[in-house]
Structure 1
Amino acid sequence: MGINQRVTVIAIVVLIFVLKSILSSSTPPFSTGQALSWNLDEEQFERIKVRNGSKLRLWFKGPKYPSSTITWYKDGKKIKNVTSRLKIKQSSLVILKLEEDDSGEYACYKQNQHGEVWKNYTLTVTTDPLITKPVIQSPLNQTVAYLDDVKFQCKVIMNSTSTNIQWFKHYQVNGSYTNEDGVPYVHVIQQSRLNHSSEILYIKNVTYEDAGWYTCLVTNAVGRAYQSAWLTVTVPSTLAKRTIFGMLILRT
């Protein structure tokens, strides 16, 4: 190899080395930024069912990027009309006093120059009542005279579905109202399906055997509720006593 060829090879090697040094040490003329990525802790599609009149917040928890823009859509159309009932706050969409017309397909679209991500929601606004266990108001303790009439009222103050109601009369076995497992001794004395707000237990011509503990039990598909009251039977204040053939007759 001649001198000129050697010089040429050395020059090429030096040039390559210099170019590599420049490329490895120089910064790009602009920042590449950061591409949008999906938050693995969040579902990309969500179904939501709420009652009308409620408040709803749809929230996209994806990562925040200063250079990204966020757009909300309903049924494929960009949401532009922000009202006193509908508010957009960056990654969240708030709807007050939901109506059935608010049902639909919602999407949050987040974009920067390097990519995009979506979060989709299916919203159903329903007028169906929420099913809850019943809530009842306790019947009141009663005190009545012998042979008078008495009534206990079991008032249901909250109920959302078909309901069964039962009245029980408690009794004792060997001086106890419950067995060894704590289960009460009871007789079912009245039962029906509740189609109004209260159920009344009537007892006519009360005797001393009717005195004791009564319980109203209300059940539906979700749960049950019960309340109890005590009946006291007294001797009439205007009692006339007569003995006929050795028998005691009570009358008012």
Structure 2
Amino acid sequence: MLEVAGIRKAFGDHEVLKDISFTAASGSVTVVIGPSGSGKTTVLRALNALDQADAGVITIADVSVDFGKKVERAQLARFRAQSGMVFQSHNLFPHKTVLQNVIEGPVIVQKRSKAEAKSDALELLESVGLGAKADQYPYQLSGGQQQRVGIARALAMKPKLMLFDEPTSALDPELVGEVLRVIKDLASQGWTMVIVTHEIRFAQQVADQVLFIEGGLVVESGPPGKVLVDPTQARTRQFLQRILDPV
């Protein structure tokens, strides 16, 4: 489903991604961990071309882009349509209802009928536990509920790949669990996902593979039982110790 080969990205003189390569099978969950400033979010943004890579090839399903060459606008649009992104902050339209937020992309971007988009949106809202909130506005929801609307909104575009950028980092601790449960449900349904998170125990439960990134490089990768429990790299062990036992 996903193949990333030799991705590089610099902002000015600062090379954020130096050589990122990995693959992900259809229906698998890839969790990306690493210290702040390691390039984790930039990897996600490169996968959706929010930040276009300077070099390397990314293939999602049957759409492949070589970012070392000139990329035509139509090709880039087709590439971006393959994935849905859930950000740290939910970025909902405050003047639109929950339902209106979810159908915006399918109707405006994909030109689907409003009736079809509404039907799909109501099903998605039910699936994330918010069927009764369709006519409410974002300010009437908790942070966790808003983030679940953000997930439904991304799913409404019917992407092949779901990308999550620390989806619980902006939430109060009591609200983290409700968002993680929705992501677990998506994993059980066979969605292909790449998740950047500091929730290590959550990663152990849902990941098929874990990438530890530092300095714009994949320092270690493998199944969670290996990377998160018995890593081979000293830097991975040091990072996990600081996360799991910060005192």
Which category of TM-score, normalised to the shorter sequence, fits these structures?
Answer: under 0.3
Higher strand share: 1
Query: Which structure has the larger Rg?
Result: 1
Relative contact order (alpha carbons < 8 A, sep ≥ 6): 1 or 2 greater? 2
